[in-house]
Amino acid sequence: MSRRASPPSSLPLIAVPSPLPKETDYARRVRQLAELHVEIRVCERCVAAGYLAEANTVGATRGRIGDAVMVVGQAPGHLSVERSIPFAGPGGVILDRWLQQAGFAAGALHREVYLSALTRCDPGKNPRGTGDRKPSPPELALCRPYLLRELELVRPQVILPVGGMAIAAFLGSQRLEDVIGEAFERNGALLVPLPHPSGVSRWLNDPAHQQLLARALERLAAWRISGQSQASDGAVP
């Protein structure tokens, strides 16, 4: 099955800032990240603009200055809202398992990875009731500044865009087959696209796609071993 990661909107691609050591300007970054988290928690931009009936950001964001890896998903689902934790559902279990394949300890997803998303409120079900509604372009635009500010403060070494929309936000419209399994250097940081771990996605039913995922996790494992991106500009061979 072929699937193209559709661009999230006419927004520009997200520019990845260079990684920073945890110690660099640590106190300021911690303070400003805490302020940003509060700002996100009380945000009602999409409600005011008529795109959401209610804002529910409690399960959208978690992480610290010093987290070397940042996961960027699409938007939190209802389980994340209920449990006040990002990737709280089965997709989070699978994503944690993938990280273990790359050499992380069990539970690392919620312990040592910065969890972010394109939008921070549960968009609800799609009209057919077959899965989560994709955030609309205006919602993506309203929420984008939060992700940009997180990137600027956290400065991760590795970014894992999860699912087609998040991948497209960083790399533009791409077939998943063309980018999963690749690693891309961006300003000294490594971008490793992953498919969405949700059971709703059937992309991984294809054994060839599972091989691409395994390759992506090997790239992540290689970064863990080397401790840094050994990438040159563009896709890492």
Scanning 50-58, 172-180, 181-189, 200-208 for contacts with ligand SF4 by CB under 6 A, the matching segment is 50-58
Examine residue 36 and tell whether it contacts ligand SF4 (CB under 6 A). Answer: no
Select the residue interacting with ligand SF4 from 36, 40, 65, 167 (CB under 6 A): 40
Any residues with CB less than 8 A from the CB of 228 and at least 6 apart, and which?
157
Edge-to-edge strands, sheet with 69-73: 113-117, 69-73, 158-161, 189-191, 183-186, 234-236
Cα separation of 24 and 70, whole Å?
18
Per rule CB under 6 A, count of chain residues that contact ligand SF4? 15
For residue 12 the two structure tokens come to 């520009």
- Torsion angles phi and psi, residue 7, rounded to 5: -65, 140
Q: Which CB, 55 or 69, lies closer to ligand SF4? A: 55
Select the residue interacting with ligand SF4 from 5, 14, 43, 216 (CB under 6 A): 43
Give start and end residues of each alpha helix (H) in 64-175.
78-83, 90-101, 108-112, 137-154, 164-171
Scanning 1-9, 78-86, 115-123, 178-186 for contacts with ligand SF4 by CB under 6 A, the matching segment is 115-123
Q: What is the DSSP string of 218-231?
A: HHHHHHHHHSS---
Examine residue 95 and tell whether it contacts ligand SF4 (CB under 6 A). Answer: no
Select the residue interacting with ligand SF4 from 45, 83, 110, 149 (CB under 6 A): 45
Q: How far is the CB of 55 from ligand SF4 (least distance, A)?
A: 4
Examine residue 39 and tell whether it contacts ligand SF4 (CB under 6 A). Answer: no
Q: Which CB, 118 or 236, lies closer to ligand SF4? A: 118
**Phi/psi class of residue 161: alpha, beta or left (left: φ > 0; alpha: ψ in -120 to 50)?**
beta
Closest by CA to 49, choosing from 152, 127, 119, 116, is 119
Q: How far is the CB of 136 from ligand SF4 (least distance, A)?
A: 10
Select the residue interacting with ligand SF4 from 120, 155, 196, 209 (CB under 6 A): 120
Rg of the chain over Cα atoms, rounded to whole angstroms, equals 17
Contact assessment for residue 139 and residue 51, using Cβ atoms and an 8 Å cutoff: yes
Select the residue interacting with ligand SF4 from 7, 20, 33, 57 (CB under 6 A): 57
Contact assessment for residue 203 and residue 195, using Cβ atoms and an 8 Å cutoff: yes
Examine residue 46 and tell whether it contacts ligand SF4 (CB under 6 A). Answer: yes
Q: Which CB, 46 or 159, lies closer to ligand SF4? A: 46
Examine residue 74 and tell whether it contacts ligand SF4 (CB under 6 A). Answer: no
134-193: contacts with ligand SF4 (CB under 6 A)? 139, 142-143
User: Which residue ranges make up the site for ligand SF4 (CB under 6 A)?
Assistant: 40, 43-47, 52, 55, 57, 119-121, 139, 142-143
